[in-house]
Amino acid sequence: MTVRRWLLTAAALFALAQLVPVPRANPPVEGEVDAPPEAGAVLERSCYDCHSNRTRWPWYAWVAPASWLVARDVYQAREHMNFSTWNRYDAEECADHLDEIAEMVENGEMPPWFYLPLHSDARLSDADREAIFAWTRASAP
């Protein structure tokens, strides 16, 4: 296959990929998590794009195949824990989520490494981490 034919085939596949529909919905917010202003600001800046119904869909969420990955990540994150439906969780689920938030922030697992290059504002400072830890400790049963 010649280079020109390969490039034309790749361009055609890329164009066809754009026709695959990808849902990018932001369902209504049912209730917000009760966090102090310092922790709430960190959550909004660093967590809400994936873990809430207030996702800010970036430009690359409209271009396949990146759109497929972004949509999958957001829907999986919301399924796991959603700050916009926090009111649905019972006391035990809230406690489990709070423990997991503290653990993942402490271990540097959240926000994920692959999210940070294009979202540098989501990077957590020591003060941000402390605000999250203070909130999770104060809110734990």
pLDDT over 70 at 141, yes or no = no
pLDDT over 70 at 67, yes or no = yes
pLDDT at 73: 95
Total structural domains in the chain? 1
At position 40, the amino acid (one-letter code) is: G
CA 36 – CA 29 distance, rounded (Å):
19
pLDDT over 80 at 1, yes or no = no
pTM for this one?
A: 0.86
The contacts of residue 20 (CB under 8 Å, 6+ apart) are: 64, 68
pLDDT over 80 at 17, yes or no = no
pLDDT over 70 at 79, yes or no = yes
Provide the residue range defining the domain that includes 49. 3-139
